[in-house]
A and B are shown apart, each in its own frame.
Chain A
Amino acid sequence: MTTTEAPPAEIGRPRTRKEDQHLITGHSTFTDSMVLPGMVHLAMVRSPLAHATITSIDTTAARKAPGVVGVWTGRDFPEQGGLACAWPITPDMKSPVHLPVPTDTVNHVGEIVAVIAARTKAEAVDAVELVDVQYSELPVVTDLAAARDGSAPVIHGDLGTNVSATWVFDSGAAGTGGDASAAIEAARSDPDQIVVERTFRQQRLIPAYMEPRSTVCDPNGAGDQITIWSATQIPHILRTMLTLSQGIPEGKLRIIAPDVGGGFGGKLEVTPEEVATIMVARQLGKPAKYTETRSETMMAAHHGRDQIQHLTMSARKDGTITGFDVDLTANMGAYLALVGPGVPILGAFMYNAIYKIPAYRFSCTNVFTNEVMTDAYRGAGRPEATFAIERMMDELATELGMDPIEVRRRNWIRHEEFPFTTVAGLTYDSGNYEEATDKALRHFGYDDLRAEQQRRRESGDRIQLGIGTSTFTEMCGLAPSRVLGSLSYGAGGWEAASIRMLPTGVVEVVTGISPHGQGHVTGFSQIVADRLGVPFENVKILHGDTNISAKGLDTYGSRSLAVGGIAVVKAADKVIAKAKTIAAHLLEASEDDIDFAHGSFTVRGTESSVTIGDIALATFTGHNLPDGVESSLDSEAVFDPENFSFPHGTHLCAAEVDTETGKVTIRKYVAVDDVGVVINPLLVDGQVHGGLAQGIAQALYEEAQYSADGQLTSGTFVDYLVPSAVDLPDYITDKTITPSTSNPLGVKGVGEAGTIASTPAVVNAVLDAVRQFGVADIPMPMTPARVWQAIQDGSTAAGSNSSSTGGAA
C-alpha cells in the first residue's frame, strides 16, 4: 500500500446540509403528517377564563356528536399525575400541583378542561362547541409587582403566597468579591463616584416556532411498547419525566422526535397536551393524534422572558465600575414549568458579563400570575442579563458623558487576563474582547456614522441616527453536571454518543442530542469524517428516537456541539484505540509503532498500512483477530464538561428613527462573534442570522400582552408581530476565533449568541438617536407608537436637556 493523499479537512468547510433534501422536496416527516390505522383525532376544550373554579362540565351533547368516540374531563383521567418541575431552585420553593387536565380550578386562559376524540379532526373540533362548562370566576392576577409585594390576591390558596422562591447570590458571602450593597452605599456619599439606578422591563415573548406542537401516540407497539412521536426538543427528558410524573414504566416508552419545526426552547417542555394524548390513546387502545392550532400554541404553550429588572450600579467617574446590584421579579405564570424557575437564575452568572466588577449581588424573586407558564426561550436568562448590563453600560456612559465603547474598554477583562474567575464565580477560559470590538468597529465604520449622526442632529433632520453597542458573553454548553447539581437542577448535563463501524464502510453515529433545524447531522458528520478519516458521505448520524438513541439529554442551551459533539469525538477516539490493536496484529507490528492519520494505520517508518474500513471489515468477518480481542470496533462515550464555554462578541447597530412617525429602521448591523473553532461556517452564520432576528424582534416587534383579566390579547400572528423579511436588515457577520480550552475541539456554542447580543444593541441605538429629545427610556418592543410618544413626552418634559447627547458625538 502507498501513502494516500490527505483529504481536505472537513472541519471548517462550509458544507451544505445533508438535512435539506427531504425538506426542500416536501418529503418531510413532521408529526402532524403522520397517520396511523384507526387513529383518532383530538381537540381540546380550553378555559376561556384566567382564574376560575370549574363548577360543572356537561359533555352529553358532545358525546352524541357525529364521529365522537370519547370525551374526557379531568376527573375521567384518574391516572394523571402532576406535571413535574425539574428545577427546585431553593429547598423551600413553592410549587402548585399542575394537572395536565385540571379537575377543579383553572389558573390561566387556555388550560385544558376537556378532551375530545373523534374520527376526524373536524368532528373533534365541532364537538368542542358542544361541551358546556360552567365556571365560577376568581380574582385574576397579572401584575408582577403586586404578585411579589403581597397586594394581589393569592392564586394558589394552599401555598399562601404568590411568591414561589427567592434566590440570592452575593459575591461578598460567596467569597468571590466584595459586598455590593456596601460598595453602592459608599459610592452614594463619594464625590468621585456616581450611582446609576434603572428599572427595565423584559417583556413576555412567545417562542413562535413555525411548527405548532403535535403528538401522536400508538399504545399498541411491539413488546407492549407505547410509541410517542412528538414535536419536541427533548425526547429523552420527555421519556424520563413521563415515568416520573405519570408513573408509566420507562421501559414501555419509546419517544420519537421526527422532523421538528423549530423549538428555540419552546419545545423544551413536558406538556399537558402530550400527556392528554397518551392518556386517551391508552384508554381507547387506539392511536391518537393531537395537533394544536397556532392560536392554541400562542395561548397555552410556554412563553419566555417576563421580568422586572431593578438595577443599581456604582462607578468611579473615570468609568470604572465599583458595584452592581440586580434585583429581579420573574413571572413564572400560573405554574412552574419544567425548568422555568431556573431560567432567570441562569442569568445570575452573566449580569457581570465581560466586566471586572468587584462587588456583585443578584436576587431573583419568582412569582405566580394567572398567565401561561414561562420557561426557556432562546438564551433563557442570559438575554435578560445581557440586556440589563449592556443597557447599564450605555446609561453609565451617558451619565459620565463618555463614549460607550470606551466605558466598556475600561472595565472589560483584557485578553492577557484569561483564564479569569469572575465575581459570579465562573472561570472564563478564553476570550478576546479587544479583537472582536476592533473588528466590529472596522466593519461598522464607527467614526463615519458618529459624524453623520452629528450632522443629522445639527441640521434637525427628520431622520435621526443612533448607534448601539453590545459587547456580550454568554455561558453555554449546558452543562457541567456538578454545577447543575450545585444549582439543584434535577438532572445532569452530560451527553452520550456511540459509533458503529459497519462492514461496508458506513459509520453510524448515534447521538443523544435532538436537532430540530440546527444542522447537527452535517456538522457531526464533518467532525467524524475528520476524526476517523472517512468520507463525509459515509457518516450517518442517528438521533431523536429513544429506541435508537437510548441515552441522551437532548438539545438546548447551546450544548449540542460543545457537549454532544465532544461525546462523539470521545466515542471516535475509542473506536481508533480498539482498531489500533487490531491494526498492529494485522500489520504484524507492535502497537507502539502504529500511527493513525487520515483513516489509515501505518507502521512507523514503513509503507505498511491498513485503513480503518479494512479493520471494520476484519471485525465483521472475525477471521483474523488477536487473541482475546472483541470482534467489534463499536464504542460509546459520555462526555461531561468541566466548564461551560463562553462565546462572546461585539455587536454594533445603527438605527434610523423617523422622528415624525416613530418608525425605527436598522440601517446597519454588524455582528462579530467569537464562537471558538468553527466546524461549518455556513451553519454558524445561519445560527447567528436567526438569533439576531429573534433578538431584534424583542427590541422592536414582539410582546405577549395580557389584559387585566388575564386574556392574551396578542394571541395570533395578526397581533404578535413575528418579523418578516421586510422587517429585518441585511446582517454583516464576521468572527474572531479564540478556541475554548474546555473541550478538545476548541468549540463554543452558537445557537443563542445572536439573540443574547442583539436586543441591547438595538435598544441602545434607538435611545442614542432620541436621547437628545429628553427621552430616558422606551419600553420594549420599541414600536413606532411608543417611540413617537417618547419623543413627544421627552420634548415637552425635558425641553432643554443638554447633558445627554448620547455617546461621544
Chain B
Amino acid sequence: MAKITVAVDGTTYQDEVEPRMLLVQYLREKVGKTGTLVGCDTSNCGACTVLFDGVSVKSCSVLAVQADGHEVTTIEGLAGINGELHPVQQAFHDKHALQCGYCTPGMIMRSVSLLKENPHPTEAEIREGLNGNLCRCTGYQNIVAAVQQAADALATAGGAR
C-alpha cells in the first residue's frame, strides 16, 4: 500500500492505496466521486476524463499513486460553489449535447481542456480535439455546437475561467 495526498475538487484527501489502483477507481471507490464514469477498459472511450493539474487526462490511464501531490478536478468540481454552471456545462444543456449522459462527464472535461488549449477552435479542430471521447447517442453534431457556444461564452467572459 502507498500513502498518497491528492486534492480533488478542492478537498485534500490522504489515503493508503494499492499501487495498482487506477485514478478512476480511486476517485469512484475511495473519494466517492461517482460522477466520473468508466466506459471501457482500453482507454478508448474517455468517459473517465478529469483534469489533472488543469489538463485533461483519462483517469483510467493514470495510477492513483501518480496523483500524489497533484490536483484533480472532476465533473463534480466544475460548477461554481453557488451551483452556477461552467459555460461548457451550460452549453451542453443548451445545445442538447447529451442524451443518456454517460459520456458527458468525460466529454465536458475534455471540452474544458480543449478550450484552454485552443480558445477559438474551428469545427475541424473541435472534432479532432474530441477524438479520444466516444459518444454513442448524439452523433456528435450537438456536442460540436456546444463547444462552439462555450468558446464564444468564454471569449465574451474574457476567458476568466
Q: A: which residues have CB within 8 A of B? A: 16-17, 19-21, 23-28, 30, 32-33, 122, 208-212, 259-262, 264, 293-295, 516-519, 682-683, 685-686, 689-694, 716-718, 722, 724-726, 728, 730-731, 754
Contacts and interface: CB of A to CB of B under 8 A. Distances in A.
Contacts of A690: 99, 136-139
14 contacts: A23-B104, A25-B85, A26-B36, A33-B37, A210-B135, A261-B39, A294-B40, A294-B42, A516-B100, A689-B138, A689-B139, A693-B140, A724-B133, A728-B140
A28 B139 CA distance: 22
Most buried by B among A208, A261, A725: A725
B142 interface: yes
Given A23-B98, A261-B102, A689-B138, A210 B131 contact: no
Nearest to B36: A26
A298 to B, nearest CB: 9
A689 B142 contact: yes
A192 to B, nearest CB: 45
Interface in B63-92: 74-76, 78-79, 85, 89, 92
Contacts of A693: 136, 138-140
B3 interface: no
B96 A262 contact: no
Contact of B96 (A122, A212, A295, A683): A683
The 10 closest A-B CB pairs, nearest first, are A26-B35, A517-B100, A261-B102, A23-B101, A689-B139, A693-B139, A26-B75, A717-B44, A33-B34, A517-B99
Contacts of A295: 41-42
A294 B139 contact: no
B158 to A, nearest CB: 23
B116 interface: no
Given A17-B96, A517-B99, A726-B131, A208 B136 contact: yes
A247 B38 CA distance: 34
A17 B39 contact: no
B126 interface: yes
B144 interface: yes
Given A27-B35, A294-B39, A725-B131, A717 B139 contact: no
Contacts of A716: 40-42, 44
A517 B41 contact: no
A480 B34 CA distance: 41
Nearest to A296: B41
Contact of B93 (A17, A30, A262): A17
B101 to A, nearest CB: 3
B99 A262 contact: yes
Contacts of B144: 725, 730
Given A24-B93, A262-B136, 5 more contacts: A26-B78, A212-B39, A517-B101, A725-B140, A730-B123
A686 B136 CA distance: 12
B74 to A, nearest CB: 6
A633 to B, nearest CB: 33
Contact of A724 (B35, B40, B131): B131
Most buried by B among A21, A26, A30, A293: A26
A30 B25 CA distance: 15
Interface string B122-161: 0100111011111111111111100000000000000000
A726 B78 CA distance: 26
A443 B99 CA distance: 27
Contacts of A682: 96
A558 to B, nearest CB: 15
A528 B135 CA distance: 31
A209 B136 contact: yes
B98 A122 contact: no
Interface residues of B, number: 56
A348 B127 CA distance: 39
Contacts, number: 177
Given A16-B94, A730-B123, A28 B44 contact: no
B140 A28 contact: no
B33 interface: yes
B100 A717 contact: no
Contacts of A517: 99-101, 137
A16 B38 CA distance: 26
Nearest to A208: B136
Given A210-B102, A261-B100, A26 B33 contact: yes
Nearest to B93: A20
A126 B104 CA distance: 31
A115 to B, nearest CB: 20
Contacts of B93: 16-17, 20-21, 24
A209 B37 CA distance: 13
A557 B33 CA distance: 35
Nearest to B20: A122
A730 B143 CA distance: 11
Contacts of B127: 724-726
B28 interface: yes
Contact of B85 (A24, A691, A722, A731): A24
Contacts of B42: 294-295, 716-718
A210 B96 contact: no
B16 interface: no
Contacts of A262: 99-100, 102, 136-137
Contacts of A27: 35, 76
Contacts of B23: none
B57 interface: no
Contact of B100 (A211, A691, A694): A211
A261 B35 CA distance: 13
A231 B149 CA distance: 32
B103 interface: yes
B98 A20 contact: yes
A518 B78 CA distance: 25
A108 to B, nearest CB: 20
A651 B99 CA distance: 23
Contacts of A724: 127, 130-134, 140
A261 B34 CA distance: 14
Contacts of A208: 136
Contacts of A686: 96, 99, 137-138, 142
B8 to A, nearest CB: 12
A689 B146 CA distance: 15
Contacts of B51: none
A702 to B, nearest CB: 11
B155 to A, nearest CB: 21
B115 interface: no
B108 interface: yes
A783 B144 CA distance: 25
A717 B40 contact: yes
Contacts of A683: 96
A16 B40 CA distance: 29
B76 A26 contact: yes
B9 to A, nearest CB: 9
B50 to A, nearest CB: 10
Interface string B15-28: 00010010001001
Given A689-B138, A724-B134, A725-B144, A24 B76 contact: no
B149 to A, nearest CB: 12
B130 A259 contact: no
B45 A28 contact: no
Contacts of A691: 139
A725 B40 CA distance: 18
A32 to B, nearest CB: 7
A273 B119 CA distance: 45
Contacts of A24: 75, 85, 89, 92-93, 98, 101, 104, 108
Contact of A210 (B78, B103, B142): B103
Contacts of A261: 37, 39, 100-102
Nearest to A682: B96
